[in-house]
Amino acid sequence: MPRLDSEQQQAIAARIRYYRDLGVFDFYRRGDAVVEATPENVSLQVTNPDETMPRKQSRVQSQPSVNDLLPATQPVIPPAEREGALRVIREDIGECTRCPLAFAGRHTIVFGEGNANARLMFVGEGPGADEDAQGRPFVGRAGQLLNNMITAMGLKREDVYIANIVKCRPPQNRTPEPVEANTCSQFLFRQIDVIHPEILVALGSTAATYLLGGKAPLSALRGRVHEARGSKLIVTYHPAYLLRDPRQKKEAWADLQIAMAELGMKPPKRTPSE
């Protein structure tokens, strides 16, 4: 019977940690009694390694969504306790090795930052090189544009909260794989539950996919108000996309005006610039 190599063992160990974080502690192997789900079990011999390895997913719908598994509503945490609650989440993450991104060249976990009592929260896809180096979300060129967009709304960066679907940089800034996003997004959802923002802004299709629990074209999601984790959700373009196609800045500004209207804010007459 073949044994798993070290790379396969690491992948399965990350998968087991993912299930344990969801409250799944027992696995069954064909022909065996129940096996406790512990990372140490990955060295066991298996008849067919392909049956135990997590298969690469091409569609989000084929991977269990943590958004569906976590309770849809949580008790509202008093504002004075939210900073402490966010620290607890960060401590729970630790030096995370729950998904393959931990072994793909990550330097820093980018937890998120901002006002723990923010009415408005922005969610992106994942850290880039600058974010991975500094440990802060949206600090590169896309982050500078996001700062300008926030300023154009009449707000400051410290007024809002900013986070990502995944907290480790995917190699070459690729789109996170479903196993990575579903493993990591549980912590994002806990952040949302703590902050309890009135408005979430999904920056790009990846953020929209995992916040809404399903995939749809960005054009079909923009221009209207959705709901996610007890907050109203607005979908717009990712700032990195706006840097590649500045012609869409006007459309993104229209999306932000929807968010402002929901917050009862009077939109300024000027539009954001890079």
List pLDDT tens digits, range 125-134.
999 999 999 9
- For domain 66-263, the CATH superfamily is Uracil-DNA glycosylase-like domain (3.40.470.10)
Report the phi/psi class of residue 173: left, alpha or beta, with left for phi > 0 and alpha for psi in -120 to 50.
Answer: left
Token pair of 153, please? 């709304």
274 residues of the chain, pLDDT tens digit each = 456 666 566 666 666 665 555 555 444 444 444 444 444 444 333 333 333 334 333 333 334 455 555 555 578 999 999 999 999 999 999 999 999 999 999 999 999 999 999 999 999 999 999 999 999 999 999 999 999 999 999 999 999 999 999 999 999 999 999 999 999 999 999 999 999 999 999 999 999 999 999 999 999 999 999 999 999 999 999 999 999 999 999 999 999 999 999 999 986 665 555 4
Neighbours of 29 (CB within 10 A): 14
What is the rounded CA–CA span in Å between residue 135 and residue 118?
20
Pairing outcome for strands 231-236 and 226-228: antiparallel
Within the chain, which residue ranges are assigned CATH 3.40.470.10? 66-263
**Is residue 165 a contact partner of residue 212, using CB atoms and an 8 Å limit?**
no
Q: Which of 48, 47, 40 minimizes the C-alpha distance to 12?
A: 40
Helices (H), the chain: 6-21, 49-52, 66-69, 82-93, 129-134, 141-152, 178-195, 205-212, 218-221, 239-244, 249-263
Give the length of the chain: 274
